[in-house]
Amino acid sequence: MLQHRHDKPQLPPTLSSVYGMIDAEIKKVDEILRQSLSDGVPFVNDVSQYAFQLGGKRLRPVITLISYLAARPLGDEHGIPHKLMLVAAAVEMIHTATLIHDDILDGALIRRHLPTMHTHWNAGISVMAGDAIFTKALSLVTQLDELEPYRILAGACHKTCYGELRQMGTRNRFDMSVDEYLEIVAAKTAALIECSSQMGAWYAGADAETIEQFRLFGREIGIAFQIADDVLDLVGDEKTMGKTLGTDIQYKKPTLPVLLYFNTLPEDARREAIQQCSKEDADETFAQNFVAKIRCSGAVEAAIAYSDNLADSAVERIRHFAATHPRSPESHKAVDALCTIAAYIVKREK
């Protein structure tokens, strides 16, 4: 029997007012998702509805809709268009599909306090479920008339898959540079968040420079989001997170705290530590000792500072936009909401 979670993910207090601004629209996005993922075949419907529960707080749709409110010109008081809600739902579907595939690649056992799909069923069903959800997202965007949304979404999908593939090729490559890590993260994690803020500004009818600034806002908070994930995988609480922790070390992923730890070591010690970590027979005790060394080295704090700087840059960017463009009170409120989201991303506990 399926283990469904009927309750909504509980929002942290810092985000409640943000989500309250677009409560009706987020409900419409959820309804689009439910309808799109429903199926007349019971087994297919069970799989699809289970996947529906894995998406969490709908952060990407929220960024899409809030960006629209923040970017729309003074005097435009029209409501959020239905087409943008379709885009928001499509982005969330694509994100959900990547989560399903990521959990298989990472060997994760828990997602949103539920067994991951590949542990509930198996890897084959999970792969096909992810593919099916991805194609459902493509079906949604066929309802759009404009070419630009297709281009932006297609680019984000390509970057996400490309970044994930690049990351798979870096397993055990603890000698990689921080710059290479950031390139991969900008693709595999930030691309969909970048797409979300960019699409919101595009549908608001903003000029090209404003759309670019919103895109860069999404890119910066997207990279910060992944760095926060890297940190939480080392120091987070599994019960709070609602997903398996420690998988980055177990699967020998060179995340930012790990790379920064190696950079604190003298060259000889660094070379030896990298060799030890790269051994296939490194057991759980070794991994736990390795995590303890990272925690004591200051690398976690350095990674947090890195993500904080990105979030600060994103906030400064969006504040500059608000200060240099005539804005309605609602637009200013939406700008404040985007800044709240940026702050939440780097301070979250799950």
Structural domain boundaries in the chain: 13-347
Give yes or no for a contact between 9 and 56, defined as CB atoms under 8 angstroms apart: yes
Q: What angle do CA 35, 40, 45 make, to 5 degrees?
A: 70
The residue among 2 and 161 whose pLDDT is bigger is: 161
The confidence score (pLDDT) of residue 73 equals 84
Q: What angle do CA 45, 34, 16 make, to 5 degrees?
A: 135
The confidence score (pLDDT) of residue 286 equals 73
Cβ neighbors of 222 (< 8 A, separation 6 or more) are: 185, 186, 189, 190, 191, 192, 193, 194
What count of other Cβ atoms lies within 10 Å of the Cβ of residue 163?
Answer: 20
At the top level of CATH, which class does the domain 13-347 belong to?
Answer: mainly alpha
In this prediction, residue 5 has a pLDDT band, given cuts at 50, 70 and 90, of: very low
205 closest CA partner among 78, 91, 21, 32: 78
pLDDT at 60 over 60: yes
Average pLDDT over residues 51-70: 89
pLDDT at 116 over 70: yes
Per-chain mean pLDDT for the chain: 88
The confidence score (pLDDT) of residue 3 equals 43
147 exposure class (CB count in 10 Å sphere: 0-12, 13-18, 19+): exposed
The confidence score (pLDDT) of residue 113 equals 73
What is the rounded distance in angstroms from the CA atom of residue 256 to the CA atom of residue 79?
A: 41
Instruction: Give pLDDT tens digits for 209-257.
Output: 999 999 999 999 999 999 998 998 888 665 655 555 556 777 788 999 9
Instruction: Give pLDDT tens digits for 260-296.
Output: 999 999 999 999 888 888 776 666 677 778 888 888 9
DSSP string, 91-142: HHHHHHHHHHHHHHHHT--EETTEE-HHHHS-HHHHHHHHHHHHHHHHHHHT
Least confident of 3-7, 143-147, 172-176, 191-195: 3-7
Instruction: Give pLDDT tens digits for 195-206.
Output: 999 999 999 999
The confidence score (pLDDT) of residue 281 equals 65
What is the rounded distance in angstroms from the CA atom of residue 204 to the CA atom of residue 207?
A: 9
Q: What are phi and psi of 111, to 5 degrees?
A: -145, 125
What is the rounded distance in angstroms from the CA atom of residue 283 to the CA atom of residue 300?
A: 22
Average pLDDT over residues 103-129: 84
The confidence score (pLDDT) of residue 102 equals 85
Least confident of 94-103, 118-127, 247-256, 324-333: 247-256
The residue among 172 and 155 whose pLDDT is bigger is: 155
What is the rounded distance in angstroms from the CA atom of residue 49 to the CA atom of residue 57?
A: 16
The confidence score (pLDDT) of residue 313 equals 98
The confidence score (pLDDT) of residue 326 equals 84
